[in-house]
Structure 1
Amino acid sequence: MTRSASSGTVSAALARGRLGTAHVVFFVVAAAAPLTVVAGGATTGYAVTGVTGIPVAYLVVAAVLGLFAVGYVAMSRHVVNAGAFYTYIRHGLGRPAGVAAAAVALVAYNAMQIGLYGGFGAVTADYLNSRYGAGVAWWVCALAAWAAVAVLGLLRIDLNGRILAAVLIAECAVVVVFDAVMITHPAPPGVTLDTLHPGLVVSAGIGAALVTAITGFVGFEGTTVFSEETRDPRRTIARATFIAVGLTGLLYAGSAWAMSVATGPHRIVDAARTDGTELIFTLTAPHLPDTLITLARLLFITSLFAALLSFHHTVARYLFALGREQVLPAVLGRTSRRTGAPKTGSLVQSALAVLVLAVYAATGADPVVHLFFWITVTGGLGVLILMTATSLAVAGFFHRQTPAIRQIEGTWRTRLAPLLAAVALAAILTATLTEFATLLGVDPTSPLRWMFPATYAVAAAIGTAWAHVLRRTRPDVYAAIGLGADSVTAGTRTTASTHHQHV
């Protein structure tokens, strides 16, 4: 069912029944980019924070996100909508808060997706230039990835899932092999659990370590974005979310610990500062065939590409959800008749990405520091803000439900876990804002430390103001905010629109 609007034809829903639990896990874990986090995130965490407790920080963050997921997936059984955070916050905290969340989500996920092009372009160009003397610029590699993502974004979601599955399984296998090699070749004093000691949780600088750790998990929350396209949303989303948190948490903590075993726990910080993202390759290269090391470097590149593709799908589905409800222009609610993909949302995200890449290429900005590092860190901050607000929204949503629903879900899922998660996430958010200059690698007096976070305050203010404009000028649209596929039917009854087929 579709709804006609002056700005386009709105599709009621995305293609249903194409994703199972495994597909969703592949999408969200690919967004987290395990090999990229292990090779880049963990070593950067050691180097930037100077804290040896990075492995235990990953476990703490995984526990907090597991707590967050309890209420998150409980709500997913009652609200099925590609708008995810936007929809949940709307149902729990009200329509203005929901639209504000939508604005924050669009900034955050676009930042994650577009920022990754800087990392992909730089890493790929370095590989081609050092190995083959290609002399290619970073932006050429970034544009090649952009073209591939733009095409894949318009194809069937399950085809993308199979591509991500192949990449993800290969990179996880390499990470496990590397971990085994590092653990079986320990530096003095041998295999110890020093960097996993619980006491490190209260050590100096652990706030920055927790902030660094949580950025590695960004993407796992995207399970609900794909809820409309799953075969059984009530079960699939819950399973995929907990599997994603557990898998990435164990992988990250285990790999960060394995690196500390291979260098020695007291040398890991210095080693990370010396070798950077090359540390994991430096530690394993003497014990593995050159072909496997070469494969791992290629998988480092494909890991970045997989994350690019996954975040592209997330942004496209947010745009679809907002266009379907006409919070944004209705043309964004169009889907492809052939593939069921959110056609216009995908094209808009691709257009924005290529525009930003063109600006960075023209200005000669550093693709690693100014695009990859600064922008993805800012994107991670936005997702953290949304998770904190969503925890409160979950508690608010169930508070307004019938006693029967609250009894079915239980007090733990409807109240205790969401509120505890909100407190824990708020603490990490506070640490993030406090340590933001350190995360960006700038002087504490630099205006950048507040300019980047301020973009979310501006986005939220614009979203809130727009919600009030809709309430005054388009009450039918305002009333349908957060209704998902039902908004199409509601809008049809209100406006007596004519039904059309998908484009």
Structure 2
Amino acid sequence: MSASSAPEAGLRRGRLGTIHLVFFTVAASAPLTVLGGGVTTMYAVSGNVGAALSYVLLAVILAVFAVGYAAMSRFVSTAGAFYSYIAGGLGRAGGVCGSFIALAAYNAIQIGLYGLFGAVVGDFMTTRFGVEQAWWVWALVGLLVVGVLGILQVDLNATVLAVLLLLECLAVVVFDVVSLGNPAGGSVSLAGLDPGNLFAAGLGAVLALGIASFTGFESGAIYSEEVKDPRRTVARATYIAVAFTGGFYALSAWALTVATGPENVQTASAGAGPGVVFGTLAEHAGTTVADVAYLLFVTSVLAALLSFHNGVARYLFALGRERVLPPYLSRTGVRTGAPVAGSLTQSVLALVVVFAFVATDRDPVVDLFTWLSGVSAVGVVLLMTLTSAAVVGFFRRRPEAEVNTWQRLVAPALATVLLFAVLVVLVVNFDALLAPDNPRYLAWLLPAVTLVAGLAGFAWGLILRSRRPAVYAAVGQGMTEPTPADEDPELTLSR
């Protein structure tokens, strides 16, 4: 690492614009991954015909959240994103708490996607080329590709994501057109857009997988140190991403119910999984279109893996730079400006967890992908709830800030209440995500992962306050210079 990176080199500034951040944010949720993996799983495990409307509901909540979040982004521009926001509004110990929740949540969704990636690539290689390998072999190939791209220039990553995102969005549009043009039974059913069908059995699973589809929502803020105009770019990209994903996912989820028929959508999704999407394309648009779409499904999952990997690496960079975690995590590439140490650390962690699931013979989709998606959903909602509360606290201490009452108080307070309500529904109904043969204790153990991470982070924050006050004072500040050794003797050896 020493040959290609140096501590405190810093992230490269001025590389990214609004369109880059939109690509990072939308690619993190990956439209074709949401349709082929998230939507089909949602219908299969919940049986909720009105699930499409959950995307509209969640988009509205996230839009309310984005009001205060975007306003605060004008005053906070560090790679720590939510971590820095919470530290600025709820105190430094609260910020460390938020950072641990974020690491647990984003690592969970990123690592869980390796299960989905391994399964879909394995299926594609077997059915199209007759090449049979265990799912984890393909997962390791994906891990290697993501690991290499993760240490390259961030604008190169944005270019890769942009190309993949445009292609997969085109594939989803084709599916929507084909589905709405060839409805089951000969007529387009509006049952999937009936609010009465949404607020029925399986709502907890619907919200969990729905919010998981929006995971990566803070991508804009994560890259705020690398954008050309952080005061405007982050807010603009956030609003665009929320509006686009909410509407696009709702339309596509409804289109699936039209293609299969509302009464058949659960059976079809449970039986074929992603195959229900590509089977529809093959039937009405031809096998070539279906094959191309399936290949784009693979690259869609890869794009999501890369986006989450980049986000986790920047969280680790921010925490290492501020000495909340070991300082070596703040090492960046001299030529690329990428957070090399954070990237490599995330890759190693993903490798360990994937092999743990392999060693225990767990299913890559039913277990690895679904379990960790649920863990991530709980963590992300908890993180956003704390961030909304932090916005209120932040502006309460800054009455002179040029922010109106809607932005500084009403919207963030409302978002806090709404997000907390979603969190309660997620936790209480977490068992809806589990397969019938899964151990029952997982219904409380899995959602507890991010809660325990938060408590551990808060405890670590209090320890820093008492034992390393110089480090504690810099929490959430985006420190760019090393803390002097005479201020914090414990850093002497770490250098």
The question of a shared fold, defined as TM-score above 0.5 by the shorter chain, is answered with yes
Task: Within 5 Å, give how 1:178-327 maps onto structure 2.
Answer: 178-188=175-185, 190-327=187-324
Write the letter of the residue equivalent to 2:429.
Answer: E
Give 1:500's aligned residue: none
Tell whether the 8 Å contact from 1:322 to 1:333 is kept in structure 2 after alignment.
yes
Give 2:411's aligned residue: 417
The superposition leaves residues 136-183 of structure 1 with CA deviations (integer Å, 9 ceiling, x where unpaired) of 121111111111111111100000000011100000001001101111
Write the letter of the residue equivalent to 1:435.
Answer: N
C-alpha deviation, 1:283, in angstroms? 2.3
**2:151 alignment partner, SS class:** coil
Distance 1:211 1:380 in 2: 6
Residue from 343, 347, 350 that aligns with 1:346: 343
**1:224 alignment partner, SS class:** helix
Write the letter of the residue equivalent to 2:79.
Answer: A
C-alpha deviation, 1:251, in angstroms? 1.1
Write the letter of the residue equivalent to 1:73.
Answer: A
Distance 1:426 1:494 in 2: 43
C-alpha deviation, 1:445, in angstroms? 7.5
Distance 2:70 2:10 in 1: 21
Distance 1:466 1:209 in 2: 34
Distance 2:331 2:141 in 1: 26
Distance 1:184 1:309, change over 3 A: same
Residue from 370, 386, 397 that aligns with 1:373: 370
Task: Within 5 Å, give how 1:375-390 maps onto structure 2.
Answer: 375-390=372-387
**1:446 alignment partner, SS class:** coil
Residue from 481, 485, 500 that aligns with 2:479: 485
Write the letter of the residue equivalent to 2:358.
Answer: A
Residue from 404, 425, 428 that aligns with 1:434: 428
**2:228 alignment partner, SS class:** coil
Residue from 449, 458, 462 that aligns with 1:468: 462
Distance 1:443 1:101 in 2: 33
The alignment status of 1:135 with 2:132, answered yes or no, reads yes
**2:333 alignment partner, SS class:** coil
Distance 1:23 1:307 in 2: 15
Bigger drift between 380-389 and 458-467 goes to 458-467
Bigger drift between 360-369 and 280-289 goes to 360-369
Write the letter of the residue equivalent to 1:263.
Answer: T
Write the letter of the residue equivalent to 1:455.
Answer: V
Residue from 160, 171, 174 that aligns with 1:174: 171
Give 2:395's aligned residue: 398
Bigger drift between 296-305 and 34-43 goes to 34-43
Distance 1:145 1:49 in 2: 30
C-alpha deviation, 1:12, in angstroms? 6.7
Identity %: 51
Give 2:440's aligned residue: 446
Distance 1:302 1:101, change over 3 A: same
Distance 1:160 1:444, change over 3 A: closer
The superposition leaves residues 208-250 of structure 1 with CA deviations (integer Å, 9 ceiling, x where unpaired) of 3223311111112221001111111111111111111111111
Distance 1:460 1:247 in 2: 31
C-alpha deviation, 1:257, in angstroms? 1.1
C-alpha deviation, 1:126, in angstroms? 1.4
Distance 1:441 1:395 in 2: 40
Bigger drift between 269-278 and 300-309 goes to 269-278
Distance 1:383 1:423 in 2: 15
Distance 2:339 2:415 in 1: 32
Task: Within 5 Å, give how 1:62-77 maps onto structure 2.
Answer: 62-77=59-74
* Structure 2 portions without partners, runs of 5+: 490-494
C-alpha deviation, 1:473, in angstroms? 1.6
The alignment status of 1:458 with 2:452, answered yes or no, reads yes
C-alpha deviation, 1:303, in angstroms? 0.7
C-alpha deviation, 1:443, in angstroms? 6.8
Distance 2:101 2:488 in 1: 32
Tell whether the 8 Å contact from 1:208 to 1:431 is kept in structure 2 after alignment.
no
The superposition leaves residues 73-92 of structure 1 with CA deviations (integer Å, 9 ceiling, x where unpaired) of 11111100110111111111
Residue from 33, 37, 42 that aligns with 2:39: 42
Distance 1:307 1:445, change over 3 A: closer
The superposition leaves residues 382-423 of structure 1 with CA deviations (integer Å, 9 ceiling, x where unpaired) of 111101111111111111113x31xx2211111111111111
C-alpha deviation, 1:357, in angstroms? 2.5
Distance 2:390 2:266 in 1: 39
The alignment status of 1:110 with 2:107, answered yes or no, reads yes
Tell whether the 8 Å contact from 2:115 to 2:365 is kept in structure 1 after alignment.
yes
Tell whether the 8 Å contact from 2:150 to 2:338 is kept in structure 1 after alignment.
yes
Bigger drift between 333-342 and 204-213 goes to 204-213
Write the letter of the residue equivalent to 2:455.
Answer: A
Tell whether the 8 Å contact from 2:282 to 2:288 is kept in structure 1 after alignment.
no
Give 1:335's aligned residue: 332
Distance 2:437 2:385 in 1: 27
